[in-house]
């Protein structure tokens, strides 16, 4: 499902600042353009990933660039209470603006000149991604460039001020090489993931590489300039598609954005859900055949997705852990629900379904004895006490065992004709 319709929002980079999602994007001028015409950079915010507020527009006239229509990809970072917005002028150079008033701006040109000027290295200087590592120093890096015609991406450590380089940019090897731009860095289980257009990815034990190419992890009509972010203990992948996707004549120069859940398998590969690609994140329908556990909007600390035989299961559940699913639409009054869980303990476990939060109104309670092992899932049916309409459901788990149970999915019993 596409978000922020008919605003030309593309090249999405989402960061979580102060508990809210901020999208730093480029802006396609409009439909029926002969080439990419991009007049400014925009910042949007959301706390539910469904409703987005336009916070700020950075115009090239307010930077060293002056007026132009080639405002290519942007990224952002926070350091010491200040927010930094990195922007590129076509394939020529990268600048940086700073806000001392929060991630929503306003942003001011920090240097009055490029941070990465044209010709600094042997690649096109654009499409920056800024990565903050998880080491003790929270070391910041900037990666940029393209790998076409024998070129390479480049990466450099940033200084603490975030507006100067701590080292000369170093070339990044991808083996075998791909022809693309739009680099992004994600880290999972100590491994650096380098991604690009069309959901291609490579991995390395060092941010400097070399990176080993593994292939594509998802498909859509296009997967344009995709990036990852984590919000409420859930991993997301966001990317661009044409605004008029589905029309007979696709307009490649007027784009919008999609968001899907992203899951890491045991072997380190990434998967997404074709169903969510269509329906989007952050909302659910009581008429769906299944609502998978891993599609949660929020999870308590320690709960995680683990690959199992036919998908993923929710593990790390402790007494008081929860999974939250907002905007479950079209729920019948006193809806009959089916919950699929496993319990490998002798002790009984409890599943509470509450409204809005772990402390909200109780809608229903399920007692789960031993199912025959944690690898033996059983489906339990019971009835909620709810009104008709849309509800925010919070599954709260309780039990005396160290791991009371594991959670797979839930759905609502269909009305038989």
Tell which of 243, 265, 282 closes a domain: 282
Residue entry with tokens 């090897």: 173
Spatial distance between the Cα atoms of 204 and 206, rounded to a whole number of angstroms:
5
Q: Per residue in 192-202, pLDDT tens?
A: 999 999 999 99
Q: Are both 269 and 289 inside the same structural domain?
A: no
Tell which of 258, 282, 306 closes a domain: 282
Q: Are both 85 and 43 inside the same structural domain?
A: yes
In a domain, 233, yes or no: yes
Length of the chain: 417
pLDDT at 141 over 80: yes
SS (H, E, C) the chain: CEECCCCCEEEEEEEEECCEEEEEEEEECCCCCCCCCEEEEEEEEECCCCCCEEEEEECHHHCCCCCCCEEEEEEEEEECCEEEEEEEECCCEEEEEEECCCCCCCCEECCCCCCECCCCCCCCCCCCEEEECCCCCCCEEEEEECCHHHCCEEEEEECCCCCCECCCCEEECEECCCCCCCCEEEEECCEEEEEEHHHEEEEECCCCCCEEEEEECCCCCCCEEEEEEEECCEEEEEEEEECCCCCCCCCCCCEEEEEEECEECCCCCEECCHHHHHHCCCCEECCCCCEEHHHCCEECCCCEEEEECCEEEEECCCCCCEEEEEEEEEECCCCEEEEEEECCCCCCEEEEEEECCCCCCEEEEEEECCCCCCCCCEEEEEECCCCCEEEEEEEEEEECCCCCCEEEEEEECCCCC
pLDDT at 416 over 80: no
In a domain, 377, yes or no: yes
pLDDT at 219 over 70: yes
Spatial distance between the Cα atoms of 331 and 393, rounded to a whole number of angstroms:
11
Spatial distance between the Cα atoms of 42 and 56, rounded to a whole number of angstroms:
6
Q: Per residue in 47-69, pLDDT tens?
A: 999 999 999 999 999 999 999 99
Q: Are both 227 and 200 inside the same structural domain?
A: yes
Q: pTM of the prediction?
A: 0.97
Residue 2: what are its φ and ψ, rounded to 5°?
-85, 145
**CATH number of the domain where residue 386 is located:** 2.60.120.260
Q: Are both 290 and 278 inside the same structural domain?
A: no
Task: Provide the pLDDT for residue 207.
Answer: 98
Average pLDDT over residues 330-342: 97
Q: Per residue in 79-135, pLDDT tens?
A: 999 999 999 999 999 999 999 999 999 999 999 999 999 999 999 999 999 999 999
In a domain, 89, yes or no: yes
Per the prediction, the chain carries an average pLDDT of 97
Q: Are both 183 and 261 inside the same structural domain?
A: yes
Q: Are both 340 and 378 inside the same structural domain?
A: yes
In a domain, 417, yes or no: no
Q: Are both 304 and 338 inside the same structural domain?
A: yes
Spatial distance between the Cα atoms of 26 and 60, rounded to a whole number of angstroms:
12
pLDDT at 417 over 70: no
Task: Provide the pLDDT for residue 331.
Answer: 97
Spatial distance between the Cα atoms of 251 and 136, rounded to a whole number of angstroms:
46
Tell which of 229, 261, 282 closes a domain: 282
Task: Provide the pLDDT for residue 414.
Answer: 81
Total domains in the fold of the chain:
2
Average pLDDT over residues 363-375: 97
**CATH number of the domain where residue 226 is located:** 2.115.10.20
Which candidate, 148, 131, 145, places its Cα nearest to that of 183?
145
Q: Are both 309 and 203 inside the same structural domain?
A: no
In a domain, 363, yes or no: yes
CA dihedral 61, 62, 66, 67 (to 10 degrees): -20
Q: Per residue in 177-192, pLDDT tens?
A: 999 999 999 999 999 9
What confidence tier does 288 reach under pLDDT thresholds 50, 70, 90?
A: very high
Q: Which domain holds residue 265?
A: 2-282
Which candidate, 109, 105, 120, places its Cα nearest to that of 44?
105
pLDDT at 247 over 90: no
Q: Are both 210 and 343 inside the same structural domain?
A: no
Q: Are both 238 and 294 inside the same structural domain?
A: no
pLDDT at 250 over 80: yes
Residue 236: what are its φ and ψ, rounded to 5°?
-125, 155
C-alpha 364 chain-centroid distance: 31
User: How crowded is residue 140: how many other Cβ atoms within 10 Å of its Cβ?
Assistant: 21
Q: Are both 278 and 291 inside the same structural domain?
A: no
Q: Are both 29 and 151 inside the same structural domain?
A: yes
Task: Provide the pLDDT for residue 245.
Answer: 85
Termini Cα distance of the chain: 30
Q: Per residue in 143-157, pLDDT tens?
A: 999 999 999 999 999
Spatial distance between the Cα atoms of 351 and 222, rounded to a whole number of angstroms:
40
Task: Provide the pLDDT for residue 246.
Answer: 80
């Amino acid at each position: 499902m596409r978000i922020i319709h008919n605003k030309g929002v593309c090249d999405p980079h989402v960061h979580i600042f102060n508990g809210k999602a901020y999208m730093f994007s480029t802006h396609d001028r409009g439909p029926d353009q002969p080439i990419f015409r991009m007049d400014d950079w925009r910042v949007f915010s959301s706390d539910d990933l469904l409703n987005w507020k336009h916070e700020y527009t950075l115009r090239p006239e307010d930077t060293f660039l002056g007026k132009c229509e080639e405002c290519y990809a942007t990224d952002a970072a926070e350091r010491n209470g200040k927010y930094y917005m990195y922007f590129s002028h076509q394939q020529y150079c990268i600048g940086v603006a700073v806000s001392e008033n929060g991630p929503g701006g306003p942003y001011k040109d920090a240097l009055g000149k490029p941070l990465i000027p044209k010709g600094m290295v042997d690649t096109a200087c654009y499409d920056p991604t800024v990565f903050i590592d998880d080491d003790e120093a929270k070391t910041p890096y900037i990666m940029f460039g393209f790998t076409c015609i024998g070129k390479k991406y480049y990466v450099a450590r940033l200084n603490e001020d975030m507006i100067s380089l701590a080292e000369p940019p170093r070339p990044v090897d991808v083996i075998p090489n791909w022809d693309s731009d739009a680099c992004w860095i994600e880290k999972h289980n100590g491994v650096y993931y380098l991604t690009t257009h069309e959901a291609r990815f490579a991995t390395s034990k060092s941010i400097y590489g070399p990176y080993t190419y593994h292939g594509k992890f998802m498909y859509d009509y296009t997967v344009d300039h995709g990036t990852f972010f984590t919000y409420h203990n859930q991993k997301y992948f966001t990317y661009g598609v044409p605004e008029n996707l589905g029309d007979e004549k696709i307009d490649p120069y007027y784009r919008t954005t999609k968001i899907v859940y992203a899951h890491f398998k045991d072997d380190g590969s990434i998967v997404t859900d074709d169903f969510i690609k269509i329906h989007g994140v952050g909302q659910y329908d009581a008429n769906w055949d299944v609502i998978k556990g891993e599609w949660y909007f929020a999870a308590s600390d320690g709960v995680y997705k683990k690959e199992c035989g036919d998908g993923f299961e929710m593990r790390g559940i402790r007494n008081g852990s929860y999974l939250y699913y907002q905007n479950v639409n079209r729920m019948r009054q006193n809806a009959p629900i089916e919950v699929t869980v496993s319990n490998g303990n002798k002790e009984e476990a409890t599943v509470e379904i509450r409204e809005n939060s772990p402390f909200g109104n109780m809608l229903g309670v399920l007692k789960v004895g031993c199912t025959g092992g944690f690898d033996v899932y059983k489906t339990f049916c019971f009835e909620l006490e709810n009104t008709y309409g849309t509800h925010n459901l919070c599954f709260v788990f309780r039990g005396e065992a160290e791991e009371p149970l594991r959670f797979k999915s839930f759905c609502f019993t269909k009305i038989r004709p």
